[in-house]
Structure 1
Amino acid sequence: MYHSKKTWIDKEVDSLKINELAEQVAVSRQVAHLLVQRGFETAEQAKAFLEADQMDFHDPFLFQDMNKVVARIQQAADEGEMILIYGDYDVDGVSSAAILWHALVEIGAMAECYIPNRFTEGYGPNEAAFRWAAEEGFGLVITVDCGISGIDEAKVLQDLGVDLIITDHHEAKDVLPDAFAMIHPGVDTNYPYSKLAGAGVAFKVAHALLGRVPEELLDLAVLGTIADLVPLVGENRLLAAKGIEALNASERPGILALRKVCSLVEDDLTEESVGFAFGPRINAAGRLDSAMPALEMLLAETIEEASILAEQLDQQNKQRQDIVKNIAEEAIDLVERHYLSDRVLVVDSNQWNPGVVGIVASRLVEKYHRPVILLCHDAEKGTAKGSGRSIAAFDLFAELTRCEDILPHFGGHPAAAGMTLSSEDVSVLRERLNAQAAGLPDEAFIATTEIDLRLNVSEISIGLIEEMGRLAPFGMGNPSPRVVVEGANIRDLKRIGRDLTHLKVLVTDGKTELDGIGFGFGDAVDEISSLADVSLMGSLNINEWNGFRKPQLMIQDLAVVDYQLFDYRGGKKPLTDVFELPEDMTTLVAFSKDTQTKYAERPLNGPIKANIVFLDLPEEESAFLPYLKEAERVYCAFKDEGYYFETIPSREEFKQYFNYFAKCPRDELRIGLVRLSKSRKWSKRSINFMHSVFSELDFLVTMEDGLPGVNPNAEKRDLTEAATYKRHEERQRLEQQYIYSSLAQLKERFDTLVEAAKQEEMTWSSNSI
């Protein structure tokens, strides 16, 4: 067996609806299956989803405060009033600020951008920055991707006589800031779509200000929309689809510079380009220092300026990766030593960088499938600052709201949040959150993955993958289809990559072959037998190389449901490998006394565990059964180098040996036997074997001189009647079947044994009723 990292759950779907939709929309049954799963059950719904680029953006004036916003901004532009765009230090905040800046400049407004420093100012509006804005003469402050939690800060700005317009999308508390106007799709029930990212909200404001859809800003809007992990359905799907098109056609210096440092100059950009290439680099600036270089890159007017900034972001991203790796190792160590029994992992340190702990929290959620909060202490301020990530069963924002008496600053979503609190209250927060999670069922903490399709290798084709691509762009709310390729035979399995940590596999169903790549799955090579029927879970894509195109599975998980057989016979692999298997999961089996003596220093023949190592052969093959019935993995070493590996002497050799005793003078018996064995090239074991057979049959007996001799009264009997001969003959049969067979033949033999035992048990059970 090979256990999957997560439990695979099949989504329930109505097969009748699938068949109807496939016929009505003229798509394959597999694509119809995916559409129904995503809630597009009618032809009208499915066509609207598949043809998202034909949709229209909602009227921005459906926001109830949009008229006020446009009028106030236009007033500021007409009167030469300074406007401050106050953003956030992540991709969504930076791209939102860039969108609004472009729109304000186009209408002739005087605007500047302000991105708070994560380390000195923290997330969202802060009083010092707002007081600075008033002192600098800004008459209007517009927040982007933040502001909904800034109740006190809004009051400060109001007292200073500066108008505040909040544009945000984060979860709102019961009490809202007192602002001049507010654009928030989650608060404003008049607007028909509530899940816009901050960049989407800024895009709507730009749409209203300019009186047209600002398509030239779509390449910026798509950055925040995809990177902030909002659901890519509804208007977000339109933003993402059109945005990716705009991104590929973009001549913006900042985008071109990003493409170059990400080595995506000649590639078609996709949602993955934003999520895994552009996003981490833009985010890196704000995670390690100020996010202003990221904003300046997006606003750069020349490729030279943008390239310098993009190179800086690329270097910062590499630094960020190293820091994340080190913090993750330390955090896991703390969890393993102190918090392994907790349902909510609240882990803190005074050594960590608060800019990257959100990434580490995500990794710990993936590893432990529990809500995770990582906090960094500031000794001078006496505070702890950090980020949390959660699981579906635990609404992190809602649960933190229950603790707001000790959380002076926090905000976020059900799945993610940021917070600052007194260092003295960290243990209190840990206790409270664990108490709040105590009522959740145990299954809430079992990692699961929802499966979209189960396919055979032969069902997978370039045509199917291209058709499934009609559902893109993929992301939150519309994930890339997860498929399981079931019961495939392994044709090839090997490690790849510079450090050999990745897996490359070729599987087949006997008709068609499929390549699979599993990043980080290199260890599976040692844990999956070449004979195994493996089930692979992942996403499909088309691998294009050297002019060839073929389907490929990007492996996210894998499993083997049957027991596995590994071959260590004949020195093919060093026996030291099996001795390094985890002792608490491994049973070393030695049947013979010689083998038990040879490996006496090791724990032998203990309770049956998942890994079974057969060090030698038993006298009877039925001895394998108790182990085979329970084993998940069987390692066959059969390193016995004893008597039974030799060929049974022929009848002519038996005759020669017997005649020697009948004819040899007694005084030459010993020396003569030595000469005979040398001339016939008999081993000592062969001689002992023949002697044992003759003795058991009473053909040879001990004479008065203490030496063996021929028994004149012996009855005529066949050699095969001797117990030693029978044992040897049976042993040779076992050797032929278990030592000199191929691994496939060995597996077939074991399977036959187990199946025969099952049939016998069924027969016995039936007869006993």
Structure 2
Amino acid sequence: MIDSKYKWQLDQPADSSVVDKLAKDANIDPFMAKTLIQRGITSADAVEDFLNPSVSAFHDPFLMHDMHKGIERIQQAVENGEHITVYGDYDADGITSTTVMYETLSDLGADVDYYIPNRFTEGYGPNVEAFQKIIQKGTSLIVTVDNGVAGNQAIVAANELHCDVVVTDHHSLPEKLPDAYAIIHPRVKNENGDAYPFGDLCGAGVAFKVAQALMDEVPSDLIDITAIGTVADVVSLRDENRAIVKFGVQAISNSQRPGLLALIKEAGIDLGRFSEEDIGFGIAPRLNSLGRIKDATVGVELLSTFDEDRAGELAKFANQQNDLRKSLVDQFFTEAVQSVEDSGDISQRHTLVVVGHNWHQGVLGIVASRLVDKYQRPTIVMTDTDGSEEVKGSGRSVDNFDLFKAIDPIRDQTIGFGGHHSAVGLTIKKDKVPVLKDQLEKAAEEQQLDLSVKPKLAIAGVIPVSQVTAVLCDKIKTLAPFGQDNPKPIFQVQFDQLANVKAMGKTSDHLKFSLVQGNNRLTAIAFGRGSAAVELQNSQAAVQVVGEIGENTWNNRTTLQLMVDDLKQTLPPVIDERTHELHRKMFATVGTYVFFHEKVLKQLQGYVGGQSQVVMYDQVTEASANGNRLYIVDCPDVLDDLVQLLAKVQPQTTVLYLYKKQLISKIGMPDRNSYAKLFRFVKEHSNVNIAMQLKQISEHLHISARTIIFMVQVFLELDFITIQDRVINLNPNYTARDLKTAPSYHLRVEQLAAEKKLLVSNTHELVSFVKDCLGV
């Protein structure tokens, strides 16, 4: 049974009059009006700004805190020939913001270089030793990009060495701002108590605003690089960011940057159909891999070089690093899953801590994210290294658990610790791992972490397969670029049946199927759900699918497809799971398990969990069965027993195991000739030991042993024979009686009728019969 990974939330349809008004006022399609209203865009002006952003979308850069002061200092350094160092970061946003600032200062004629700290030896942000080294080489002005607002200690060190620091950053503000020459940050309020009109710029976006202030115009030649940083850092794609990415995608499509073109080629991206998704899934991962695996400094050279040979060389290197990153993630994820499964922590703990050996530190956060996705609980992935008593790692969390708050109480027992609600990094001694595990479990209890709470998934609407057309796809495209705060619409697609269900990919990790409705067919792809193929192929449960409508181009042919975000099965009222064998796993689900034979109940009672009910058919109550899952474990001898049971209950789902070890119908009812043959035999042979002579009697009469035993029971019930110590003799005083009056004969008739109805029938016949009994 496939359960959804998310809690589906269908957006409430907007009032039709409101939709019609916006469609008319903005001169747009009602579908577009409805979708925009769902996104909080309710006026014609807002629609125009959203769908067609212009240069006017870019705010005055001097509205940002300390922009005037920072620009004056940079201009002074350029005019005086001072050496400037741009101090960046090792992720895609850091690489692009460094590139934007470096190219801007270079174009102004500055004496400038750049420095990106090493993730593994220096860590994130301003580093005292790095600042000292930079200053010793002659730098008198450091301009940070995508970092610096929390670099108090390093900035103090720079001030003491008579080097000014201009911070340009977008990260969360600390309690105390550093003593920098200027802090250019969209969320820092100016002396009037006002903040910049749009606070969700990324590091590259802030650098872009500095470039705009320095150039006294929107630097269109830098918008391609800024768009990459904006998409990579997953910031809000509204307001200024939307304009940056929309214009940036267009600029990249016409780019003349050798490095960017080489990287796009290595990523296998079709430049003619370029979109923000190509940045998110093609360009950004390759830039991020440089810093994750080794040194991100070459990323700036890759983006800014005009040497085509060098560009090709660096692009290949970035692609190789990305391939290495993916292989390491796959390897460590597999090992981590094995560790989790072996530990049994899934059944015992609300949180996970996995410690590997000599795992590459740059990919631990990705591994943690994949584990969170798989197990839906906060996870920390760490590694030890040979010759060290420390373990270092990264953690990722779920929406309803503050991971930073959870670990903060033991901060004094860590060597290094930082992060926020959803992600942390930390270093601890090996012997503190149990302390960390215990603290996380304690925090899970304090924060009342409920693992049954699923992350929410917004569904824009429900549409049939027949409405998934190229026209609809084109309408959706006009809402792009998609990302944070402007997600691609997700639809629940209605269909009549699934077809061509199969696992795909080298290791069958992914799922492919078709949604069929009449003559309409839509291909659906679900990444990472390959394991669901068998369940979908064999289960009778109804399936619901939600996903994003997109296109797939193969061999110059473009077709529509659904990229599946989630799917789930819902149980029909009656499920045919008839079986000849019963296993413990068949009793794992909570429900009411009904038996018709006490012997079978006693044999299987230990299989059933404590939250379930085990009951004989004549003891089932409405309270115990109504609204629950009802399991009919074994096959009744008398069909009416099942009919009466089903008539008085209203279960949510009825599952039919109808187990029977041996079918009576395979033996059948003896004919009158068989009874006559056995009667003559008993009449002609005295003192027949049925236990010792059964085989010989069966061979002599050419009647099966089981049939003979049954007929003996009928004769005994009719007083035709006597049995003492298993020795049979004819009753000298017997009187002729109808065979049908014997209880065993009557029971055999009932058993054959029950088997015919319940075990020999096909699924449709059985389900229809049980539904009629239930009244559904």
TM-score by length of 1: 0.81
Output the amino acid matched with 1:168. Answer: D
Partner of 1:446: 453
Q: Which residue of 312, 316, 341 corresponds with 2:317?
A: 312
Pick which of 732-741 and 120-129 moved more.
732-741
Offset at residue 348 of structure 1 (A) = 6.8
CA pair 680-426 structure 1, distance change in 2 beyond 3 A:
closer
CA pair 485-637 structure 1, distance change in 2 beyond 3 A:
farther
State the secondary structure of the residue aligned to 2:478. Answer: helix
Partner of 1:541: 550
State the secondary structure of the residue aligned to 1:471. Answer: coil
Partner of 1:497: 505
Partner of 2:7: 7
State the secondary structure of the residue aligned to 1:122. Answer: coil
Partner of 1:764: none
Kept in 2, the 8 Å contact 1:495–1:503? The answer is: yes
State the secondary structure of the residue aligned to 2:492. Answer: strand
Task: Please give the per-residue CA displacement for 1:678-699, whole angstroms capped at 9, x wherever unaligned.
Answer: 999754445555665576567x
CA pair 423-683 structure 1, distance change in 2 beyond 3 A:
closer
Inter-partner Cα distance in structure 1 for 2:208 and 2:280: 19
Partner of 1:558: 568
Output the amino acid matched with 2:523. Answer: D
Q: Is 2:211 aligned against 1:206?
A: yes
Q: Give the number of aligned pairs.
A: 742
Q: Is 2:245 aligned against 1:244?
A: no
Output the amino acid matched with 2:172. Answer: E
Kept in 1, the 8 Å contact 2:389–2:429? The answer is: yes
Offset at residue 250 of structure 1 (A) = 2.2
Offset at residue 96 of structure 1 (A) = 0.8
Partner of 2:233: 228
Kept in 2, the 8 Å contact 1:617–1:640? The answer is: no
Partner of 1:727: 747
Kept in 2, the 8 Å contact 1:613–1:635? The answer is: yes
Give the alignment of 1:315-714 within 5 angstroms.
Answer: 315-325=320-330, 327-328=332-333, 333=339, 351-367=358-374, 386-392=393-399, 415-416=422-423, 418=425, 440=447, 442=449, 446-458=453-465, 460-462=467-469, 463-485=471-493, 489-508=497-516, 512-528=520-536, 529-545=538-554, 547=557, 549-562=559-572, 565=575, 567=577, 603=607, 608=613, 617-621=635-639, 622-623=641-642, 634=655, 636=657, 638=659, 640-648=661-669, 653-654=671-672, 658=676, 666=684, 683-686=704-707, 701=721, 713-714=735-736
Kept in 2, the 8 Å contact 1:588–1:605? The answer is: no
Offset at residue 124 of structure 1 (A) = 0.7
CA pair 497-378 structure 1, distance change in 2 beyond 3 A:
closer
Kept in 1, the 8 Å contact 2:593–2:613? The answer is: no
State the secondary structure of the residue aligned to 2:167. Answer: strand
Partner of 2:759: 739
Offset at residue 90 of structure 1 (A) = 0.3
Output the amino acid matched with 2:361. Answer: P
Kept in 1, the 8 Å contact 2:499–2:514? The answer is: yes
Give the alignment of 1:7-156 within 5 angstroms.
Answer: 7-11=7-11, 14-15=14-15, 17-18=18-19, 20-22=21-23, 24-25=25-26, 31-52=32-53, 56-156=57-157
Output the amino acid matched with 2:369. Answer: S
Inter-partner Cα distance in structure 2 for 1:36 and 1:442: 34
Pick which of 402-411 and 16-25 moved more.
402-411
Task: Please give the per-residue CA displacement for 1:38-86, whole angstroms capped at 9, x wherever unaligned.
Answer: 2223333233222236753223233353344444333333333322111
Output the amino acid matched with 1:523. Answer: S
Inter-partner Cα distance in structure 1 for 2:216 and 2:452: 49
Partner of 2:622: none
Output the amino acid matched with 1:83. Answer: I
Pick which of 32-41 and 602-611 moved more.
602-611
Partner of 2:624: none
Partner of 2:303: 298
Task: Please give the per-residue CA displacement for 1:231-250, whole angstroms capped at 9, x wherever unaligned.
Answer: 11111111112222222322
Task: Please give the per-residue CA displacement for 1:376-396, whole angstroms capped at 9, x wherever unaligned.
Answer: 679999877654444545666
Q: Is 2:217 aligned against 1:216?
A: no
CA pair 256-585 structure 1, distance change in 2 beyond 3 A:
farther
Offset at residue 299 of structure 1 (A) = 2.4
Inter-partner Cα distance in structure 1 for 2:19 and 2:700: 81
Pick which of 614-623 and 519-528 moved more.
614-623
Offset at residue 568 of structure 1 (A) = 6.1
Offset at residue 95 of structure 1 (A) = 0.8
State the secondary structure of the residue aligned to 1:134. Answer: helix
Inter-partner Cα distance in structure 1 for 2:609 and 2:175: 65
Unaligned runs of 5+ in 2: 615-627, 689-693
Inter-partner Cα distance in structure 2 for 1:155 and 1:96: 23
State the secondary structure of the residue aligned to 2:362. Answer: coil
State the secondary structure of the residue aligned to 1:52. Answer: coil
CA pair 692-90 structure 1, distance change in 2 beyond 3 A:
same
Kept in 2, the 8 Å contact 1:226–1:275? The answer is: yes
Q: Percent identity?
A: 33
Inter-partner Cα distance in structure 1 for 2:708 and 2:438: 77
Output the amino acid matched with 2:370. Answer: R
Inter-partner Cα distance in structure 1 for 2:275 and 2:133: 40
Partner of 2:618: none
Inter-partner Cα distance in structure 2 for 1:15 and 1:106: 53
Output the amino acid matched with 1:5. Answer: K
Partner of 1:761: none
Pick which of 701-710 and 465-474 moved more.
701-710
Offset at residue 504 of structure 1 (A) = 2.6
Partner of 1:763: none
CA pair 429-285 structure 1, distance change in 2 beyond 3 A:
same
Partner of 1:762: none
Inter-partner Cα distance in structure 1 for 2:434 and 2:707: 75
Inter-partner Cα distance in structure 2 for 1:363 and 1:724: 62
Pick which of 194-203 and 468-477 moved more.
468-477
Partner of 2:775: 755
Inter-partner Cα distance in structure 2 for 1:661 and 1:368: 68
TM-score by length of 2: 0.80
Inter-partner Cα distance in structure 2 for 1:701 and 1:354: 85
Offset at residue 183 of structure 1 (A) = 1.8
Kept in 2, the 8 Å contact 1:232–1:475? The answer is: yes
Task: Please give the per-residue CA displacement for 1:106-164, whole angstroms capped at 9, x wherever unaligned.
Answer: 22222211100111111111112212222211222111101111112222222222222
Offset at residue 224 of structure 1 (A) = 1.0
Inter-partner Cα distance in structure 1 for 2:399 and 2:297: 34
Task: Please give the per-residue CA displacement for 1:4-30, whole angstroms capped at 9, x wherever unaligned.
Answer: 233333455653544544554455655
Offset at residue 331 of structure 1 (A) = 6.2
Kept in 2, the 8 Å contact 1:588–1:612? The answer is: yes
Kept in 1, the 8 Å contact 2:466–2:517? The answer is: no
Offset at residue 226 of structure 1 (A) = 0.8
Inter-partner Cα distance in structure 1 for 2:434 and 2:744: 73
Inter-partner Cα distance in structure 2 for 1:586 and 1:709: 51
